[in-house]
Structure 1
């Protein structure tokens, strides 16, 4: 399944702050909307929301996920979040493929990468199926303390060019 990506609205952003994941994925939840606004954090900042975030919409018209496109020097780092009740339902690969397509459109000359915590085998497997490969492993600070992450890079040679594994 592919998703329609559209600019994230403030209402979409508010909804994200209400998503609650079961353990151990609960670390991926966002603070309350009020706290996000107070801190000027991520998608609560209208400029960051407009330049980096999109909502992923299902055929039914409901928001199912979000994608962030964070520009780096020669790469664009994608971040993804699937609505908690849709996790484990086989939608991740379609979301990642949609994100890769949009990243290629926005940043055609940039490498596409992402970070994923090393314990999240479910996400790592999905990213590998979408054509990503581990490039590096390191520790980085997060709201949950220091976490061990993999940096995975999208390799077009491992896919059909559309994000589908060749």
Structure 2
């Protein structure tokens, strides 16, 4: 399967905001509000499609990839990444292809630079993928009832 990346469209944003994950990943469920759609249409969001033009995921860069909190300060000089895969594609071994495509696109956009991502600590599948891709744990913080890990490469 080959993946293609495009700027976020309104239809893709609405699709993504309607995705529903099973527990405990339901933490990543969103609501389809005008504000959420507007945020996803910002310059920093991108859609990822398969060769059948099916939306398989998305990613964002910059402050959109950060988790606002009172404990960890996001320093400058790193490219922050946020991402998500369509629920029916998760847990099937497709994460490596997806994440590799995202990292490759970010390198095309910004050149080879260090990247940072923030992931919920319970998300063991994603953490294993990120570690296999060369990311290491830099810090942890708690926001609300959720612990997060900040990882860099």
Residue by residue, what CA displacement relative to the aligned partner does 1:108-149 show, whole Å, maximum 9, x if unpaired?
26421101111111110011111111111222x3xxx34211
Q: Runs of 5+ in structure 2 lacking a partner? A: 64-74
On the 8 A contact 1:12/1:55 being kept in 2, the answer is yes
CA distance in 2 between partners of 1:2 and 1:124 (Å): 23
Instruction: Note if 1:79 corresponds to 2:82.
Output: yes
Instruction: Note if 1:101 corresponds to 2:93.
Output: no
Matches within 5 A, 1:14-163: 14-32=14-32, 35=33, 37=34, 40-41=35-36, 44-45=37-38, 49-71=41-63, 73-108=76-111, 110-139=113-142, 141=143, 145-154=144-153
Residue by residue, what CA displacement relative to the aligned partner does 1:72-101 show, whole Å, maximum 9, x if unpaired?
721111111110111111111111111111
For normalisation by structure 1, the TM-score amounts to: 0.78
Q: Runs of 5+ in structure 1 lacking a partner? A: 155-166
CA distance in 2 between partners of 1:78 and 1:95 (Å): 13
Off by >4 Å, runs of 4+ in structure 1: none
What is the CA-CA distance between 1:45 and the residue it aligns to? 1.7
CA distance in 2 between partners of 1:10 and 1:146 (Å): 31
Partner of 1:159: none
**Number of aligned residues:** 142
On the 8 A contact 1:135/1:150 being kept in 2, the answer is yes
For normalisation by structure 2, the TM-score amounts to: 0.84
